[in-house]
A and B are shown apart, each in its own frame.
Chain A
Amino acid sequence: MTNASVHIRSARRAAITLLFAAAVYETLARSGIFAAALLPTLPQVAQTLVAMLVDGTMVWHVAYTLYRVIFGFSLAVAVGVPLGILMGRFRAVENFFLPLASALMPIPSLAWVPVFILWFGIGNTTTILIVFYAATFPMLLNAWSGVRAVNPLWLRAAGVMGASERRLFWKVIVPGASPFIITGLRQAFLRAWIAVVGAEMLAASNWGLGWTIFDAKEFLNADVMLASLAVIGCIGFIFERLVFGSLERITVIRWGMMRAAKD
């Protein structure tokens, strides 16, 4: 079909754009208008990246960052999903937690960093808690609206078919709310990823991708910054496309429910 040829043309143009952008950057970097330390050439950046990978420093930075983001994110899921579902099911829980969530949500998680540093010191605890703060609200709100959006017809149908309250919960409400929960996971991870980089800049010591970037500024190591940025981009891409993309594919898209989550 013509569709495929359009695809190929788009891919070719994308490649041309990227090559062109790279060429512009490279020309600028080599022109000597800017200091070499501020604008390293692409081969230099690649070299730095390889060197950091080979000597293991980059691997450690990645490991620390992943540990913090996954820890904080898991904590957020463990709190956000059950609480959100309870809020959706029980009026009293909703009445109590919704005002609190609405008041805390508009505060950017990174605004808490200095406070958390005072309370918990510099290091993992603060970073993980900031990630937790950032990721909890999208998780909570999506789970909550997911339960509220469960089609009452399904509840009635299941009731007629003799489902008990416990089964109703596991067999109808949880799968019914799952498009929202999966959207929530995705949004929460995105927030967590931003939060971890910011928190590491402000509150980490010695390890972590955010910390490397910020630390590199002191020594004018723009090549280290750009190499770390590339790694951050890759990890973000892997999670966004591969992890959450495939999670969506094997669940809600197969059930034809994705529309509901997007509306």
Chain B
Amino acid sequence: MTMVSIVSPISNGYSTGPEKIGSRWRAFARTAFPFLVVGGIWEIVAHLGIFPQRLFPTLEDVAITFVQLTISGILPHHVIETLIRLFCGFALAGTMGILIGIAMGQSRRAEDIFLPLVSIGAPIPGLAYAPLFLLWFGLGNLSTILLVAFVSVFPVIINTWTGGKAVREIWVRSAKAMGSDDRQLFRYVILPGTLPYILTGLRLGLAQAWRILVAVEMLAAVPWGLGWLIFGAREFLNTDVMLAAIVVIGGIGLALEKFVFKRLEDYTVVRWGMMVS
């Protein structure tokens, strides 16, 4: 977001401090404003009692529930279980995806073998496989993790493969002219040359995994996890619990997007000028 520059009456050279704080405060107020409006409307509707309180709780109720669940350790437990599943599934997908993608990018044979499978598997919504996985691997963690891995592996494969093809011929030539053998070529040229695409693939894969995981937790009837927390709360019409859990889900989603790969990208491909941040 670009800041609107404000003209400060003080121009003695010390003005940057207060001016900066002022414009930062303004930016904050501008971001907060829409939330205040929407929150205000929500409060009015909730207090008017048009809808049953249980189905449309006030924001105070949601906040209180959130605090209670956090203090009692219930919410953190759900969060940790969900994150562990996400991590396991995604780690599996990342490893397999990068290996298969690089093999496809480097060898015509691997490409011919995997490409048909990938192009058939990728467009089918991963969630459609969920019941099948549950049938095959049973309700619970194994199915959930495998499904998350299965869903997020495709973006990783496709991007890594594309990246392998995008490694410039001239880098390969230069490296060979400077005496790289095949192993060195792979490690010092092909891998860093493919990295922007690998990171994009991982990022997309993680987002995909996150979108699916919550739903899979609902279907797989795992005893802990944010998806199950929401789904289970439905039975007792605990809308406040659901909304509190959704806030947490949104927060984690945002954090995954903003911090996990952003840092890694800034440190590598953005610094190398291979990608704009």
Contacts and interface: CB of A to CB of B under 8 A. Distances in A.
Whether chain A touches chain B in the assembled complex (some CB pair under 8 Å)? yes
Interface of A: 9-10, 13-15, 17-18, 21, 38, 95-100, 102-104, 106-115, 117-119, 193-194, 197-198, 201-202, 209-210, 213-214, 216-217, 220, 222, 225-226, 228-229, 232-233, 236-237, 240
A181 B131 CA distance: 34
Interface of B: 1, 30-35, 37-38, 55-56, 109, 112-117, 120, 123-132, 134-136, 210-215, 218-219, 226-227, 230-231, 233-234, 237, 239, 242-243, 245-246, 249-254, 256-257
Contacts of A210: 127-128
A209 B129 CA distance: 12
Contact of B123 (A209, A220, A237): A237
A220 B16 CA distance: 69
A117 B35 contact: no
B249 A111 contact: yes
Given A110-B211, A111-B246, A113-B218, A198 B127 contact: yes
Contacts of A111: 214-215, 226-227, 230, 245-246, 249
Given A110-B214, A114-B231, 8 more contacts: A9-B112, A13-B113, A17-B116, A106-B256, A108-B213, A108-B215, A214-B131, A232-B124
A198 B123 contact: no
Nearest to A191: B211
B34 A100 contact: yes
A198 B135 contact: no
Contacts of A222: 132, 135
10 contacts: A14-B115, A17-B113, A99-B35, A107-B246, A108-B212, A108-B214, A110-B211, A118-B239, A229-B132, A233-B123
A132 B22 CA distance: 39
B27 to A, nearest CB: 10
Contact of B215 (A13, A17, A113): A113
A257 to B, nearest CB: 20
Contacts of B226: 111
A38 B254 CA distance: 38
A240 B123 contact: yes
A9 B115 CA distance: 13
Q: Is the interface of B mostly helix, strand, loop or mixed?
A: helix
A126 B254 CA distance: 25
Given A108-B211, A118-B234, A193-B125, A225 B132 contact: yes
Given A95-B30, A115-B239, A214-B219, A108 B120 contact: no
Contacts of A113: 215, 218
B34 A114 contact: no
A117 B254 CA distance: 25
A161 B155 CA distance: 45
CB-based closest 4 A-B pairs: A106-B253, A13-B112, A110-B215, A217-B131
Contact of A197 (B31, B128, B245): B128
A14 B34 CA distance: 53
A220 B132 CA distance: 9
Contact of A225 (B55, B135, B230, B249): B135
A119 B127 contact: no
Given A38-B135, A114-B230, A229 B237 contact: no
Given A14-B116, A17-B112, A111-B227, A216 B210 contact: no
Residue of A110, A197, A217 with highest tally of chain B CB at under 10 A: A110
Contact of A217 (B30, B120, B135, B257): B135
Contacts of B256: 106
- With a 10 A CB-CB cut-off, give which of B112, B125, B134, B233 has the most chain A CB atoms: B125
Given A111-B227, A202-B218, A229 B129 contact: yes
Contacts of B112: 9-10, 13-14, 17
